[in-house]
Structure 1
Amino acid sequence: MPTISALARRFGLSRSALLYYDRIGLLRPGSRSAKDYRRYGEAEEVRLERICAYRRAGVPLAEIRRLLDGPERAVAGILEGRLRTLDEEIRRLRGQQRVIGGFLRNPDLLGEPALDKATWVALLRASGFTDADMDRWHATFEAADPLRHQRFLAFLGLSEEEIARIRAASAGPLSGEASGRPTVPPDGGGSASPPSSPAGS
């Protein structure tokens, strides 16, 4: 039966990672030697293979423990949740990609000393954002983090009245059907988390 160091080498992990897995109850040694060294058997190796596979899929350790120790019917739900998270991350990254593309297609925007509403809207339009994209993003941003949403709008130099109108419109359904269409989404990608910007700090 391999020791903790041998098992770590076999799976390309650090010894400290396996010690941590032991500490949180994710992977216990199958037995102990006479000198109290951890020993791992076939069952532990199979479990570690599954742990590594789930980690490659980006599943958090707490969720992995539920996958391994919970009922089989819970597996699909956890993995579907991870897939939804990845979809959101992909949409956010695509939104950032489109913004960068807008900068590159409009070099004049790169020299702007400060970001205001007109510059931001011009950039988003150049990046291919539609009104529906903007509606959807603002509604999601307002639902996820109202204070940060307000700070971003204030950073763009909007008046208190316009900020109030945009936030009121954004507080409705996420379908983009609210009146008073907001026109300054931070990333347009449908994500609840805006890209890094001075307003988001």
Structure 2
Amino acid sequence: MLTISQLANKFRLSRSTLLYYDKIGLLKPSTRSETGYRLYSSADIEKMQKIASFRDAGLSLTYINDIVNADNTKPTEVLEQRLISLNHEISKLRQQQQYIVKLLGKDSLIRKTKTMNKEQWVNILKASGMDEKAMHNWHIEFERDLPEMHHDFLESLGCSQDEITTIRKWSIST
């Protein structure tokens, strides 16, 4: 059995966080000592480990509570939704990043950011010996094996949605 302070230390949380978890019913101590101290069992520690993992994945306490305290909520469904949400957020951030670079108009800044534009990517492919046919084949394989990642990659290069649609269509039709 661990006290609230011991559990807080083990998971690098504040005592008040665990008190809040108790208050909202997320993690209640198994028992209390004769003097009223909250005591957490090995099952509670296991539950806290799950809570910590789901927090690290960016899930809200509401979702975490549903997963760990309800029989009908499947973690897979919630995690898949979180992954879709993250992909959408990343896509929006990439677009904002490309837009900021354009607004600044400084090509040297691109080297300091974690972005690459379409022209840079094409130049790298050409420098490595790829001709137009080989680049087309590259797109075909990318689209066939990882269509959503292909879309995300094209977005990351700053391609417009119309251009992405065109590239993906000719990658499929060939």
| TM-score > 0.5 by shorter chain | yes
Q: Deviations over 1:34-85 (max 9, x none)?
A: 0111001100000000100000000000100111123366221111111111
Give the structure 1 partner of residue 27 of structure 2. Answer: 27
Q: Deviations over 1:150-196 (max 9, x none)?
A: xxxxxxxxxxxxxxxxxxxxxxxxxxxxxxxxxxxxxxxxxxxxxxx
- Which amino acid is the alignment partner of residue 130 of structure 1? S
Give the structure 2 partner of residue 71 of structure 1. Answer: 71
Equivalent residue runs for 1:30-179 within 5 Å: 30-71=30-71, 74-105=74-105, 128-130=158-160, 132=162
Give the structure 1 partner of residue 122 of structure 2. Answer: none
- Which amino acid is the alignment partner of residue 162 of structure 2? A
- Which amino acid is the alignment partner of residue 59 of structure 2? V
The structural deviation recorded for 1:10 is 1.0
Mark the CA change 1:38 to 1:101 in structure 2 (over 3 Å): closer, same or farther: same
- Which amino acid is the alignment partner of residue 40 of structure 1? Y
Give the structure 2 partner of residue 2 of structure 1. Answer: 2
In structure 2, C-alpha distance between the alignment counterparts of 1:90 and 1:67, rounded to whole Å: 25
Runs of at least 4 residues of structure 1 off by over 6 A? Answer: none
In structure 1, C-alpha distance between the alignment counterparts of 2:91 and 2:74, rounded to whole Å: 26
- Which amino acid is the alignment partner of residue 96 of structure 2? Q
Mark the CA change 1:17 to 1:73 in structure 2 (over 3 Å): closer, same or farther: closer
Structure 1 spans left out of the alignment, 5+ residues: 108-126, 134-201
Give the structure 2 partner of residue 160 of structure 1. Answer: none
- Which amino acid is the alignment partner of residue 2 of structure 1? L
- Which amino acid is the alignment partner of residue 78 of structure 2? I
In structure 1, C-alpha distance between the alignment counterparts of 2:161 and 2:29, rounded to whole Å: 57
Give the structure 2 partner of residue 181 of structure 1. Answer: none
The structural deviation recorded for 1:129 is 5.0
Give the structure 1 partner of residue 18 of structure 2. Answer: 18
Mark the CA change 1:20 to 1:88 in structure 2 (over 3 Å): closer, same or farther: same
Residue identity (%): 41
Give the structure 1 partner of residue 139 of structure 2. Answer: none
Give the root-mean-square deviation of aligned CA atoms: 2.2
Give the structure 2 partner of residue 117 of structure 1. Answer: none
> What TM-score does the superposition give when structure 1 sets the normalisation length?
0.52
In structure 2, C-alpha distance between the alignment counterparts of 1:41 and 1:105, rounded to whole Å: 59
In structure 1, C-alpha distance between the alignment counterparts of 2:13 and 2:85, rounded to whole Å: 26
Equivalent residue runs for 1:176-187 within 5 Å: none
Greater RCO (Cα-Cα under 8 Å, separation 6 or more) = 1
Choose between structure 1 and 2: higher helix proportion.
2
Q: How many residues of Structure 1 are paired with residues of Structure 2 in the alignment? A: 115
